[in-house]
């Protein structure tokens, strides 16, 4: 396992401090606020850690989350889990993330006993394989003088972009779609919840960016304030994020300072494994981007 991936797994592990209460930390970097994918992944891990032993075989099938306030990277996050229901087929958990005595995030997660029934899916789009695409470093190399600090940041998930060039190389509006190959930078344990947490973490990296492609902007534009508002995921079929997966993303609309985007995550074999939907704040502003939404 690569060092960056090992640090991400540790970040998602959480510290139990009381029944149904866990503590999570943020990485020691220079972010102005906690990365939304981190909070979602940690909250999901907290929910899974409260499954009864006889529910251990229940698989995560969906999560629905709201980002309420910016997270403070300098202090721990407390995750309080409410054991809503333990039924014969479904287990439901509600998780609230707390900092400075206030909720910054809440999430409902549902787990399901595996069953066999109907089966169909939308096929994976035809896409160049990841080995035929530039690595992250190769993609950004022409702009290293502009974003040297961003380029050198350790990355636990390898990302190979199929479509849009990096923001410094973009010229004008683009179609509101992007495809990205994802793969954890190393081997992971077999525990499916670790793979689900890392996919949740990675799904917040690029999805909202799709909403600003038609407007010739990116998350690196100083005048643009972007923040996740809500995030939903459905887990359809087994997968491993330490094998290549294609994240096919599309933004059908943006309006009233909000961008909306959805994505499908496919295994390299073409199985539709995860669906993701996100809405986020898109606000043109000269104010401090850490202000409350």
- End-to-end Cα spacing for the chain: 37
Catalytic annotation on 223?
no
Catalytic annotation on 163?
no
d(CA 203, CA 30): 21
d(CA 182, CA 69): 28
Give the Cα-Cα-Cα angle 36, 160, 183 (nearest 5 degrees). Answer: 65
d(CA 27, CA 42): 13
Which entry of 26, 203, 211, 278 is annotated as an active-site residue?
278
d(CA 105, CA 127): 35
- C-beta separation of 176 from 250 below 8 A: yes
Which entry of 108, 228, 249, 251 is annotated as an active-site residue?
228
Which entry of 26, 110, 203, 204 is annotated as an active-site residue?
204
Catalytic annotation on 278?
yes
Residues 6+ apart with CB under 8 A from 206: 159, 178, 180, 247, 249
The catalytic residues are: 204, 228, 278
């Amino acid at each position: 396992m690569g060092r960056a991936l090992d640090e991400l797994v540790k970040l998602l592990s959480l510290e139990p401090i009381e029944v149904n209460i866990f503590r999570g930390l943020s990485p020691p970097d220079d972010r102005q606020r906690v990365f939304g994918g981190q909070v979602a992944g940690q909250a999901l891990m907290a929910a899974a850690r409260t499954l009864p032993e006889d529910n251990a075989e229940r698989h995560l099938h969906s999560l629905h989350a709201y980002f309420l306030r910016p997270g403070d990277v300098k202090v721990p996050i407390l995750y309080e889990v409410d054991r809503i229901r333990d039924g014969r087929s479904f287990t439901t958990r509600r998780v609230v993330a707390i900092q400075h005595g206030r909720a910054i995030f809440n999430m409902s997660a549902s787990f399901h006993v595996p069953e066999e029934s109907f089966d169909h899916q939308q096929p994976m789009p035809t896409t160049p394989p990841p080995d035929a695409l530039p690595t992250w470093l190769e993609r950004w190399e022409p702009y290293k003088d502009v974003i040297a600090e961003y380029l050198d940041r350790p990355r636990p998930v390898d990302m190979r972009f199929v479509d849009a060039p990096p923001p410094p190389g973009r010229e004008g509006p683009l179609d509101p779609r992007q495809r990205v190959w994802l793969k954890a930078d190393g081997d992971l344990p077999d525990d499916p919840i670790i793979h689900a947490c890392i996919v949740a973490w990675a799904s917040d990296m690029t999805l909202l960016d799709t909403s600003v492609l038609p407007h010739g902007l990116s998350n690196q534009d100083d005048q643009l304030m972007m923040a996740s508002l809500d995030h939903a995921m459905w887990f359809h079929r087994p997968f491993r994020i330490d094998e290549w997966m294609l994240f096919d993303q599309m933004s059908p609309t943006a309006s009233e300072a909000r961008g909306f985007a959805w994505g499908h995550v496919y295994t390299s074999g073409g199985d539709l494994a995860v669906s993701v939907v996100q809405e986020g704040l898109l606000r043109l502003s000269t104010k401090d981007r850490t202000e409350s939404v």
